[in-house]
Amino acid sequence: MRTTTPDETSGLQVASLGVAFNGLEVLRDLTLRVERGEFVCIVGPTGCGKTTLLRVIAGLLRPSAGEVRIDGAPLNGPGHDRGLVFQEYALFPWLTVRQNIAFGLEARGAMTKAACARAVERFTEMVGLDGFEDYRPSQLSGGMKQRVAIARALANEPAIVLMDEPFGSLDSQSRCAMQAELLQVWGQTGQTIVFVTHSVEEAVYLGNRVIVLSARPGRILTEIPIALPHPRVRTSPDFNALRAEIMALF
Amino acid sequence: MKLLVPALSEQPPSAARLEQGRWYDSRQLLLAASALSFFVLWQLAVLIVNSPYLPGPASVGRALVEALTQRDFIGFTMGQHVFSSLTRILYGYLLAVVIAVPLGLLAGWFKPLETLVSPWIEMTRPIPPLAWIPFAIVFFGSPFDAIFIVFLASYFPIFLNTTTGVKSVDSLLVDAARTLGARGFFLFWRVIVPASFGHISAGLRLGLGYAWMSIVAAEILGVKGGGLGIYLWTMHEVGRFDAVFAGMVIIGVLGLLLTRGVNFWRVAASAG
Amino acid sequence: MYRRINSCLSLLAVLSVLLTGCASAAQPPKTDGTVSVRVGYLLADLHHIGYLVASDPEAGGGVSFYEQNGVIVQDALGAPYANGGVVMDHFASGDVDIAFLGAPPAITKHLNAGVNTEIVAQVNTIGSALVVGPDIQKPEDLLGKTVAVPGHAAIQFFLLLNFAQQHSLDIGQITVVDMPPPDMRVKLESGEISGFLAWEPWPSDAIVAGAGKVMATSTDIWPNHLDCVLAVDRTFAEENPEAVRQFLKAHIAATAWMQDALADPDSKEYKHLVDLAETFTQRDAVVVEEAFNNIAYQSALDTDFLDSIRTYTSKLIEFGLIPQEKLSERGYTDPNDFVGKYVNVTFIEGLGTP
């Protein structure tokens, strides 16, 4: 009787992924494994296909080559198990902040009204938007919209959280605060996080592995494990060494 | 953990600010000037054309007072005419809304349905509603014949705008909804429909305009209970062009009030 | 390129010459005393058969009455018309010189819309009827039903208003629709309308076909009432007074001929008149003969006539078709003054009216 190693098929498996649009190759032969509960950061030059990769994993895009499996099962379109924080926010303009954040919970209908309200309140507070629950997206600044997008995705408690430059519109103070919040949530829930950023510093601060993509057509240049304990110190020599190592690849 | 609260997005600048006190900034003044020039030009045209077939503001004003205060020789007050026309418009228009909006939503969402329905739409759309009048009179009879004409006139813009609305929903929003677990009916009802609202309301407004335009002609063929179309037609038959113009003024004002009313409801609904 | 322009200009020149040629051909030529008159009249209206009679060589005894009096006639643009109101519209647009039409539209549209006409002769009295379908037994049954008339300016609507007043019916509760009289019988049979008031021969047509019954002839509504008149465009009359007189001479002769023919149903003139009527209305002899019983042709502008015009004017104002102010707006002090000025007796004077 052959015993399969418990973690051989668990988690996210991307195998030889290829994506091309109208003859333009965006991703080529990309292979990646993310264990359950990992916090993985993806960095790379502009246009290297980071967003495309997230969309494929989210099930919004069919690859031209290769495949993606979750716990051994192939993908079948999008689902609430893979939440996506869009770079463009993608908030529903006819809904308030509160209603946007509650959207996934209502779609699944898994919670009572009271539990739903509590969850919404928790995540609204987490992203620092309490007091703005009844505002419409058109009344918010870019940074606030981004926070709603984050809260909306996290409130739905997906097994895998895909985040596409989620802190890009925030000022540095808010950014640091949000990074700390995210790490705290992750610590509590054990969700798998795939985090795309163009800030190497942010990648080193957050992830337990940093994956570096090449320029288009994107494929994995290298993967660098970050073994530093949390909370990390941005000024420490270890931190900066890792940073330098990664930046050298660009 | 509390974070700093960033500033809200700024208020859009208002074009009606009276800050500097410039006269051309004042919306009220511009509107008044426009209305005044309309009357001046009208009176000028009357003097130039000099025909009883083009009555001036004064005689139209008198005819308007007469219309609003007296019963006409057809046997109705203006209130009865207005009520009759409005009820016919309302029934025909609401019928169109109730059928065209759901059908339009479904046709926009399900391509096979749209393909099935489109030859019918494309073939009947160019036919002017008035061409259906003989058919309507024979098969529906008063007052349903007039309601049918109103229905036909308002149906197509509502249906087509709704379909377009569905098809132009931002795919990004659909993607976001699907990654949040929305599917099937929930996706349709909670994302597609609200996202199409802008197009749908444009279609509703267009449809209402067409409904108004068709009612006058539809009534000329003869419906019980009077109506603005009957008033206009009969007054023209006996040469009372001042009354015809007065009727047109009433229609214009009613149309304006109706549009304002619809707009008000729209704003109130979206703010709530 | 200059050759292109040249040929275009030549083509334009040729075209404009042709067009002016055509246009001038449409004007009444004024040579050797004969004048062309554009005549308006109503569709299949037996009241206006005088137009056909005066054009008919046989009735004139070899040469038509019009020809005898040096008149060239042609149908006006768009004639025959749907109702008297439309005739007045065509007067206003300059398509008509002389027309047969009901007295009420000639009065109403002159006062309301300032159409520049005047009345120069009578055409007939009586000659319409209110025909109703099987669902109507008494006047009150018409409430809530639909009645057809040729038009709201026509005498038939005026008669209907009188009928409603006489029987204390609220006209607002009767739906009055316009349609050409030839359509009315079919609509009555199908039940789309419950009654109609139209000029002969259409009431007789419905009776003979068994489609309805007469609830009231127009004589019942208003005994011996004035019906149709001859109206003339004032500008035309001022410029061509002789032509108007000649036309009236022919009209008087034709009217006299018809009166004689109708007085003797065995005469060949009567048979000929029936033939002409069949052609004019596209109805059978049976219908036409029945219709003739309900019409009286005359041409005189006597005191009865003038009284009728005055009474009609007052009544039209009373019903609300003409606002009281229109009299003074058009330059008349009262109905008497109006009758004095609007009925022009100078043309028919001395022509020997029967």
pLDDT in tens, C117-130: 999 999 999 999 99
For C273, half-sphere exposure in the C-beta direction (CA atoms, 13 angstrom radius) is 27
| 8-state DSSP, C59 | T
Residue B42 CA to residue B47 CA, distance in Å, equals 9
The closest alpha carbon to B145, from B156, B129, B159, belongs to B129
**Could you tell me which chains touch chain A, where touching means 3 or more CB pairs under 8 A?**
B
pLDDT category of residue B169 using cuts at 50, 70 and 90:
very high
- CATH value of C11-125+226-342 in 3.90.960.10, 3.40.30.10, 3.40.190.10, 1.20.1050.10: 3.40.190.10
CB proximity list for A193: less than 8 A, separation 6 or greater: A38, A39, A40, A160, A161, A163, A182, A186
A34 vs C271: CA distance, rounded Å = 111
C-alpha to C-alpha distance for A14 and C117, rounded to whole angstroms: 95
The mean pLDDT value for B114-141 works out to 84
DSSP per-residue letters across B207-231: HHHHHHHHHHHHHHT--TT--HHHH
Do B78 and B213 fall into the same domain? yes
A53-78 mean pLDDT: 91
Q: Is residue B58 part of a domain?
A: no
> Residues 125 to 184 of B: which have CB under 8 A from any A CB?
172-173, 175-183
**Is residue B56 situated within a structural domain?**
no
Please check whether the two domains, C11-125+226-342 and C128-221, share a CATH topology: yes
Note the pLDDT tens digit of each residue in C67-91.
999 899 999 999 899 999 999 999 9
The pLDDT score that the predictor gives to residue C15 is 64
d(CA B167, CA B161): 10
Same domain, B126 and B240: yes
- Co-location of B224 and B201 in the same domain: yes
Instruction: Report the residue from B4, B173, B190 with minimal CB separation from A90.
Output: B173
pLDDT of residue B9: 42
> Is residue B43 situated within a structural domain?
yes
Q: Are C120 and C231 in contact (CB under 8 A)?
A: yes
Q: How far apart are CA A116 and CA A103, in angstroms?
A: 10
pLDDT of C313 > 80? The answer is yes
Residue B74 lies in a domain: yes
| Number of alpha carbons in the 13 Å side-chain half-sphere of residue C33 | 6
Residues B115 and B212 in one domain: yes
Answer yes or no: do B115 and B211 share one domain: yes
B44 and B72 both lie in a single domain: no
**Taking a contact as any Cβ pair under 8 Å apart, which residues of chain C between 175 and 234 contact chain B?**
175-178, 192
Please state the rounded mean pLDDT for residues A117-130.
91
Residue in chain B lying closest to A61 (CA): B175
CA A186 to chain centre: 12
Picking from B3, B176, B186, the nearest residue to A177 by CB comes out as: B3
| pLDDT tens-digit readout, C247-266 | 999 999 999 999 999 999 99
Q: Is position B161 within any domain?
A: yes
- Which residues, 6 or more positions from A27, have their beta carbon under 8 angstroms from its beta carbon? A17, A18, A19, A49, A52, A53, A56, A63, A217, A218, A219
Are B85 and B139 part of one and the same domain? yes
- CA gap C318, C161 in Å, rounded: 11
Contact between residue C343 and residue C103 where contact means Cβ atoms under 8 Å apart: no
Rounded CA gap, B245 and B11, in Å? 44
For residue A210, what is the enclosing H or E element? strand A209-213
* pLDDT value at B227 more than 80: yes
Is there a single domain that holds both residue B119 and residue B10?
A: no
User: Both tokens of residue C178?
Assistant: 């316009």
Could you list the residue range(s) of the whole structural domain that residue B2 is in?
A: 1-51
Q: Return the number of other C-beta atoms located less than 10 Å from residue C9's C-beta.
A: 10
Q: Please give the Cα distance from A8 to B94 (Å, whole number).
A: 61
pLDDT score recorded for residue B131: 86
Whether the CB of B223 is below 8 Å from some CB of chain C: the reply is yes
Beta-carbon separation of C176 and B74 below 8 A: yes
With beta carbons under 8 A apart, name residues in chain C contacting B226.
Answer: 172
Query: What pLDDT, on a 0 to 100 scale, did the predictor assign at position B13?
Result: 47
A232 token code pair? 């990390």
CA distance B84 to A237: 86
Are residues B197 and B53 in contact, defined by beta-carbon separation less than 8 angstroms? no
Q: Which residue of A has its CA nearest to B182?
A: A107
Q: How confident is the model at residue C17 (pLDDT cuts 50, 70, 90)?
A: low
Q: Which of residues 142-181 of C touch B (CB under 8 A)?
A: 144, 146, 151-153, 161, 170-178
pLDDT band at A215 (very low <50, low <70, confident <90, very high): confident
Residues of C in contact with B240 (CB under 8 A): 112-113, 323
What is the bridge-based pairing of β-strands A65-70 and A209-213? unpaired
Question: Mean pLDDT, chain B, as a whole number?
Answer: 84
* Residue located via tokens 């009432």: C225
The total of structural domains in chain B comes to 2
Query: Could you tell me the CATH number of the domain that includes residue B191?
Result: 1.10.3720.10
The model's confidence at residue C24, banded by pLDDT at 50, 70 and 90, is very low
Do B87 and B146 form a contact (C-beta atoms < 8 A)? no
Q: Do B239 and C112 touch (CB under 8 A)?
A: yes
CA distance A48 to chain B (A): 21
| Domain co-membership, B24 together with B76 | no
Note the CATH number of domain C128-221: 3.40.190.10
Shortest distance, CA C320 to any CA of chain B (angstroms): 5
Predicted local confidence at residue B8, as pLDDT: 44
pLDDT at C78: 92
Region B88-116 average pLDDT: 93
Q: Over the stretch C163-189, which tens digit does the pLDDT of each residue have?
A: 999 999 999 999 999 999 999 999 999
Q: Which residues contact C47 (CB under 8 A, 6 or more apart)?
A: C100, C123, C124, C127, C199, C200, C227, C228, C295
Asked if the ipTM is above 0.95, the reply is: no
How distant, in Å, are the alpha carbons of A3, B181, C63 from that of A116? 42, 15, 103
B119 and B248 co-located in one domain = yes
- Mean pLDDT within B57-71: 91
The mean per-residue pLDDT over the stretch A136-161 comes to 93
pLDDT at B215: 85
**Of residues B119, B106, B129, the one with CA closest to residue B193:** B106
pLDDT at B5: 46
Cα C224 off chain centre by: 17
> Would you call B181 and A140 a contact, using CB atoms and an 8 Å cutoff?
no
What angle do the packed helices B241-271 and B228-237 form, to 10 degrees? 160
Statement: residue A4 has pLDDT above 50: no
Interchain contact, B137 vs C92, CB within 8 Å: no
Chain A contact for B186 (CB, 8 A cutoff)? yes
- Smallest CA–CA distance, residue A161 to chain B, in Å, is 10
Q: Which of C174, C176, C321 sits opposite B238 (nearest CB)?
A: C321
Query: Is residue A10 over pLDDT 90?
Result: no
The answer to the question of residue B57 being in a domain is: no
Percent of chain A with pLDDT over 70: 96
pLDDT > 90? residue C280: yes
Q: Give me the residue spans of the domains in chain C.
A: 11-125+226-342, 128-221
The number of C-beta contacts closer than 8 angstroms across A and B is: 95
Phi, psi dihedrals of residue C124, rounded to the nearest 5°: -165, 165
Q: What is the pTM of this model?
A: 0.76
